[in-house]
Structure 1
Amino acid sequence: MSPILSKITLSLFVSSAMLMTACSNQHNEATTTMANLTAPIAKKIPHEMVIHNHTRIDDYYWMRDDSRTNPEILAHLDTENDYTAAQLKHTEAMQELIFKEIKGRIEKDDSSVPTKKGDFYYASEMQGENEYPIYLRSSDVIGSNSQVLLDVNELAKAHDYYQVSGLSASPNGKLLAYGEDTLSRRIYTVQFKDIAANTLLADKLEGTNGTVVWGNDNKTVYYIKKDPQTLLGYQVFRHTLGTPQASDEMVYQENNKSYYTGLSKSKDDSSVFIWHSSTEASGISIIDANDAKALPKPFIAREEGHEYSLTKVHDWYYIHTNWQATNFRLMKVHKTHIGDKKHWQDVIPANDTVKLEDYELFTDHLVYQQREQGVSRITIEQLSTGKKQQLSFNDSAYSLDLYGNNELDNKALRLHYASFTTPGTHYDIDLTTFKKTQLKQTKVLGDFNSNNYASERIFVTARDGKQVPVSLVYRKDTFKKDSTNPLYQYAYGSYGHTIDPYFSVSRLSLLDRGFVYAIAHIRGSEMLGRPWYEDGKKLNKMNTFTDFIDVTKALTMQGYGDADKVFAVGGSAGGLLMGAVVNMAPELYKGVAAAVPFVDVVTTMLDESIPLTTNEFKEWGNPKDKVYYDYMLSYSPYDQVSAQDYPNMLVTTGLHDSQVQYFEPMKWVAKLRDYKTDDKVLLFKTDMEAGHGGASGRFKSIHETALQYSFFIDLLNK
């Protein structure tokens, strides 16, 4: 048995020992069988692509089928799935053990903390073996007269994949709107339900993004329609209940394909906001929610490089803006002066070292969330007196999320708190006394004890001298800072998305087996503010990859992990990260898991018919510009595959992925098989029913985690 198991708790030791004994013969037989397995080899059909007087030959371009019906392509994906299943057959017992471990820690009967909106408190609950939630509401916070709004389990019965989106009650609380996706392409059909009668209305809105915003007359709704090819939501329609969708009025169309379109309603319910969002600029148009014939008016003219968001409180608009503020600031303007920045007034001034991340407004209180040196903090300010109070928390690194603060006259702030060692905890914090009331903490069943685990937050010096934050967690009785522990290193590193330390019941199955878990907060995130993001995008993108590599080297040199037992994981843009680092430093990793990886960067970014491409130009650059073409080509994982040894790899995708098309990882795996000079395992698994988010359902997704964990654990024993 692997030495990493030597100090785990007795119960886990016994169960694992029994498993290994039972499976030892299977493993030996599997080794013999695996030697006889032949990896699928894809045919080559050279496809020439020329731009900027440069020619690329793509031998696997033929794998793209937008209809997802080509028999040859589907057969090849099935063959890859069969090969993966055969290669991992000897791990099935381990997969099942880990699945049961994770599932066994989850409370089967669970409910969310109710949040108030209008006259009702809304919540969801999970029951028994159900995969999906039941949505409820009550007229009081204790739920004494709960009413079922939607049982997603019943709706999902007829579908292999089912996802509900955008539940929204009408202002009078009599009707419910919700979107449903049965293909995982994130194109939703909106349904309307009469809550009292428990029946669906005849109205049905096809081809939407899954969310509606109600006008105040209880019969008008605004929704976004998606382009079926690019999947961009670019048209806002107004629908009157009882009329056909074909007669809906288009009130806005976004003609700039680099912008996303969104919808929301102001906290005071007076306005519908249309959000115009690109990577480096944004805008908002406003519709009077009390006028079913109103047309949108821009809050302010769009400006390149200006990003902002709005909250409306009575006669004042509060603006979260980067205008003359790299790390954003909060300003306000009276409704009589919208459209003119010279009337904007500072509320929270700009700070070059502190990023203003989020805020909530109440009748007499402002709550704001800032990040300094990678750590979030919350401040409550009474507007009438200027009195301030900063909240404190026990952990050195943690995640904080403000949610459910729907009412202006709330007496308390609702937030969710978690850390590597603290399960998700919901608090109400009195806005006047600042007293914290714990409403709920996620229960972890079994023998979990948070005191068995420790977390650290360190900084690693990158090759250019920048200090990269790293969050670490491990089990105290298995960890030795002597370079003997297996290391699981995760990162994302794009779009300014910051991944704070969070609690995971699944992760315990790694920690209890001696793994050290690390999140590398590399450039491309906003962990150290907006400049940290800017230093990891477009012509600075290479910093994202070298940061990850430098963190790996530092963690093994400092004793946090065994240099021969390092496993790297990333998904989507984090899958691009995985593709880049295995090209640049394959020798550092024993195993790599890349989920829905964005790896064919240049080809995708040159094709504006591919969903979401045009929105990405400000993140990656436009390769029609030679400067960006050359730079992208220098790191694009698919283009940079070479004849060298690669780590053991597990690549996963979904056939119906709407964000990273299935053919990107499919082509990448085919090319890797052709070029790699090693005999390590390269596995490719496609979920033929799922999309970008993987399997739907709370227990189904655990199988994907168990597969990945088992893949890594198995590699430790070879």
Structure 2
Amino acid sequence: MKPTHFLLALGLMTTTTHAAAPIPPTPPDAVKQPHVVKAPFGAERQDEYYWLRDDKRENKQMLAYLQAENAYTDTVMAPLKPVEERLYQEIVGRIKQDDSSVPYRERGWWYYSRFETGQDYPVHARRKDGPGVDAASIQQANAAGDFDGEEVLLDVNALAKGKDYYQVGDYEVTQDNTILAYADDTNGRRQYTIRFKNLATGETYPEQITGVSANLVWADDNRTLFYVENDPETLLTKRVKKHVLGTPVAQDALVYEEPDDSFYMGIDRSRDDKYICIGVESTVSSEQRCAPAADPAQFVVLAPRQRDVEYQAEHLGDRWVIRTNADGAKNFKIVTAPSDSTSRKDWKDWVPHRDDVYIEGFELFDGFTAVAERSDGLERVRILKAKGEEEYVKADEPAYSMGLDVNSEPDSDWLRYSYTSLTTPATTYELNVSSGERRLLKRQPVLGGYDPARYVTERVWVPARDGTRIPVSLVYKKGFEKNGKAAMLQYGYGSYGASMDPGFSVTNVSLLDRGMVYALAHIRGGQEMGRKWYDDGKLLNKKNTFTDFIDVTEYLVRQGYAAPDRVAALGGSAGGLLMGAIANMAPDKYRVILSQVPFVDVVTTMLDPSIPLTTNEYDEWGNPEQKEYYDYMLSYSPYDNLKAQDYPAMFVGTGLWDSQVQYFEPAKYVARLRDLDTGSQPVVFRINMEAGHGGKSGRFRRYRETAEMYAFMLDQLGVAEPAP
């Protein structure tokens, strides 16, 4: 078949005559091929689009279908190109192109990253400490273009040249500050390659280590690097190995191998640099084994793993300080143990458990400890001083996000913390715990005349159908009237205990300036209201996540924040599962749904342990090899619950090389949706053929994707373009 005929057959080209109007584009129609998915206990399901899965990404028929979907999306979006371009220019116009991060000091050097005008990737650099050198002076020099004395560690722009995708996931410098190890990814699949660079000579060593995670730790000898090797099929973090510079990679010694595929693995150095620790963690359990960084020959377990007991330990001085949920501390507590402890029997309570306060983490200093907490759905930082006094870092808005920032050295009186809200750009402060002095180190510059005083943020509490109160963060332009006429974008996630806190977004300003409301629903499945909030939104409680989101929508419409026919919903990954569920459960509540890298084929994916993430997540979703979980998951899985009804307009996005939610899930979902949708609203499917879970690499390229998606949404909601 000739190319033109092939496109016509797929409906991607239209024919016209001089006497007739253009024929609307017809979406692709994927071929059906019978396939039975079986569960171990005998249940069977038909999956007519299973053939779209190709783990090697080489099947020509599959690739042709994806390319046809992209071509169809191009056709649908063509009239909206001016809006897309305007959105893109607005968004990037707010970004300071030659920006830099706040430098932090470590072992006599100040480290930071900076961007150059017109460049997509950062330059990672450092400057030597000395008289008059501090975070403020370096930022001033960077802003003035004065790079005298700067040492470039990695110019990622040069490394990424000629590549469709490029990311440096981690980089670490030896304790003597002379050798750099870094891990890079060239397709977005999060399978990294480790490379080595001599910082004195600029030489890049020939040795490379492939198939690893982005997690690197040097030993004190400045020659031995510990890294995590991934399983080549499941991509799970499986083995910790060590590489000695100058020796064959094939001879790298195995340090530890995790036998349980439900655990993730990582490595780190302790707060005081005395230990190298291997941490393994599942949804409900964790374990840590550590060895002296000066002689990491034997890794000793700090406390043996136990189901439903989680802990994370840090070392400073002569003790371990440990965050744990042991002994029924559902919202976590902090305990201490001596340096030679190998059992929970040595643990002594320090910061007690509270039902109304969730402990997220902590940072140890020589003279105080900073504890990151949550209460009433908001973050706060509590400072515990050596003599027993305590105080909270202050916040000035009703809905905000606050957390510990980079505090690289424990021998300091200065605590760095971050602050942002839906109206306040990301801000880094430094607080002197002894004197109370506070310094503003950096506020994210927002160009184009952005003024936070022109916008209003508020927090409302929405009653869910079971009586639970759901916190919602809102932002809109000052002068907004709750008259039930506005368009609204509602975002949600609600999985893995990941809290979606209100933070500033340069993209959302374009929506607010067009009169829209942005709503962030803190639904169950996250951890905004503590550990119970998470437990009430997972496993056999998962449907609470979906009904919470729908209940928030209905409440906000009733209260006049939005018109009932002008609501958009947005979610990605597990939030894409949320989008698929609400589309099936309440399609009439949403005019348009934006679903990025959506996890929509829950049962089939969780039945297949060869798929990355599956085995790690049995305690998040359930194991469908057990009938109780199979039946429950099947009752909400978006792909399995598509039916003949009118669906909202949809914009679905994915990446061909996604390792977290594989491309074939949304591909199958869109194909079946097209078969069953009885409505007339457009469904477009954008596949990034060179990227993975996070979309395109580079600082600006991802905003092209956002602008396209938002242009589609604005058109569907009938949002008018502002006057020039």
Alignment TM-score, normalising by the size of structure 2: 0.93
Distance 1:38 1:174 in 2: 60
Distance 1:495 1:33 in 2: 50
Distance 1:54 1:624 in 2: 10
Alignment of 1:238-253 (within 5 A): 238-253=242-257
Match of 2:184 among 148, 170, 180: 180
Distance 1:260 1:447 in 2: 45
Distance 2:314 2:604 in 1: 40
What's the CA shift for 1:204?
1.3
Does the 8 Å CA contact 1:214/1:220 hold for their aligned counterparts? yes
Match of 2:61 among 53, 56, 72: 72
Gapped regions of structure 1 (runs ≥ 5): 1-28
Aligned partner of 2:79 in structure 1 is 90
Aligned partner of 1:334 in structure 2 is 338
Aligned partner of 1:13 in structure 2 is none
What's the CA shift for 1:295?
2.2
Q: Aligned partner of 1:600: which letter?
A: D
Distance 2:22 2:500 in 1: 38
Aligned partner of 1:43 in structure 2 is 31
SS at match of 1:457: strand
Match of 1:319 among 309, 317, 322: 322
Pairing 1:202–2:206 present:
yes
Does the 8 Å CA contact 1:165/1:178 hold for their aligned counterparts? yes
Aligned partner of 2:291 in structure 1 is 287
Pairing 1:440–2:442 present:
yes
SS at match of 2:206: strand
Aligned partner of 2:546 in structure 1 is 545
Match of 2:221 among 213, 217, 222: 217
Pairing 1:230–2:201 present:
no
Deviation per CA, 1:307-363, whole angstroms, max 9, x where unpaired?
Answer: 110110021000000012010001101113x12323211211000111011211011
Does the 8 Å CA contact 1:202/1:242 hold for their aligned counterparts? no
Deviation per CA, 1:433-461, whole angstroms, max 9, x where unpaired?
Answer: 22210011111111211110001101100
SS at match of 1:202: coil
Q: Aligned partner of 1:480: which letter?
A: E
Aligned partner of 1:423 in structure 2 is 425
Deviation per CA, 1:86-131, whole angstroms, max 9, x where unpaired?
Answer: 0010000000000000111111111100011111110010110100
Does the 8 Å CA contact 2:262/2:617 hold for their aligned counterparts? yes
Pairing 1:122–2:111 present:
yes
Does the 8 Å CA contact 1:232/1:611 hold for their aligned counterparts? yes
Aligned partner of 1:467 in structure 2 is 469
SS at match of 2:618: helix
Deviation per CA, 1:239-263, whole angstroms, max 9, x where unpaired?
Answer: 1111011000001000000000101
Q: Aligned partner of 1:560: which letter?
A: Y
SS at match of 1:225: strand
Q: Aligned partner of 1:487: which letter?
A: M
Aligned partner of 1:152 in structure 2 is 156
Does the 8 Å CA contact 2:381/2:403 hold for their aligned counterparts? no
What's the CA shift for 1:139?
1.5
Does the 8 Å CA contact 1:113/1:123 hold for their aligned counterparts? yes
CA RMSD of aligned residues (A): 1.3
What's the CA shift for 1:33?
7.4
SS at match of 1:201: coil
Pairing 1:343–2:332 present:
no
SS at match of 2:629: helix
SS at match of 1:167: strand
Does the 8 Å CA contact 1:116/1:404 hold for their aligned counterparts? no
Distance 1:682 1:151 in 2: 40
Deviation per CA, 1:510-529, whole angstroms, max 9, x where unpaired?
Answer: 00001100010000000110
What's the CA shift for 1:158?
2.2
Pairing 1:359–2:362 present:
yes
Distance 2:544 2:273 in 1: 44
Does the 8 Å CA contact 2:304/2:343 hold for their aligned counterparts? no
Q: Aligned partner of 1:575: which letter?
A: G
Distance 1:263 1:33 in 2: 63
Alignment of 1:681-700 (within 5 A): 681-700=682-701
Q: Aligned partner of 1:311: which letter?
A: E
Match of 1:378 among 378, 381, 400: 381
Distance 1:428 1:415 in 2: 6
Distance 1:572 1:513 in 2: 27
Alignment of 1:125-144 (within 5 A): 125-140=114-129, 141=134, 142-143=137-138
SS at match of 1:444: coil
SS at match of 2:66: helix
Match of 2:305 among 299, 302, 306: 302
Q: Aligned partner of 2:459: which letter?
A: R
Q: Aligned partner of 1:518: which letter?
A: A
SS at match of 2:205: strand
Q: Aligned partner of 1:47: which letter?
A: H
Q: Aligned partner of 2:384: which letter?
A: E
Deviation per CA, 1:528-587, whole angstroms, max 9, x where unpaired?
Answer: 100000000000000000000000000000111111100000000000000000000000
Does the 8 Å CA contact 2:335/2:350 hold for their aligned counterparts? yes
SS at match of 1:234: strand
Aligned partner of 1:399 in structure 2 is 401
Distance 2:449 2:170 in 1: 37
What's the CA shift for 1:34?
7.3
Distance 1:243 1:466 in 2: 59
SS at match of 2:207: strand
Aligned partner of 1:165 in structure 2 is 169
Aligned partner of 1:605 in structure 2 is 606
SS at match of 1:619: helix
Distance 1:591 1:624 in 2: 35
Distance 1:196 1:682 in 2: 55
Match of 2:276 among 235, 249, 272: 272
Deviation per CA, 1:398-440, whole angstroms, max 9, x where unpaired?
Answer: 1112121111202201111101111111111112122210011
Does the 8 Å CA contact 1:34/1:87 hold for their aligned counterparts? no
Deviation per CA, 1:126-168, whole angstroms, max 9, x where unpaired?
Answer: 1101000001101232346221111000000021000001111
Does the 8 Å CA contact 2:367/2:413 hold for their aligned counterparts? no
What's the CA shift for 1:35?
4.6
Superposition misfits of 4+ residues, deviation over 3 angstroms:
32-35
Deviation per CA, 1:261-316, whole angstroms, max 9, x where unpaired?
Answer: 10100111111110101001011011221115x12111111100001101100210
Q: Aligned partner of 2:433: which letter?
A: L
Distance 2:659 2:431 in 1: 39
Q: Aligned partner of 1:230: which letter?
A: T
Does the 8 Å CA contact 2:591/2:648 hold for their aligned counterparts? yes
Distance 2:634 2:185 in 1: 35
Aligned partner of 1:481 in structure 2 is 482
Aligned partner of 2:141 in structure 1 is none
What's the CA shift for 1:708?
1.2
SS at match of 1:707: helix
Does the 8 Å CA contact 2:196/2:204 hold for their aligned counterparts? yes
Q: 1:352 to 1:96 in 2, by over 3 A?
A: same
SS at match of 2:652: strand
Alignment of 1:617-636 (within 5 A): 617-636=618-637
Aligned partner of 1:11 in structure 2 is none
Pairing 1:576–2:577 present:
yes
Aligned partner of 1:61 in structure 2 is 50
Alignment TM-score, normalising by the size of structure 1: 0.94
Distance 2:401 2:279 in 1: 26
Q: Aligned partner of 2:533: which letter?
A: W
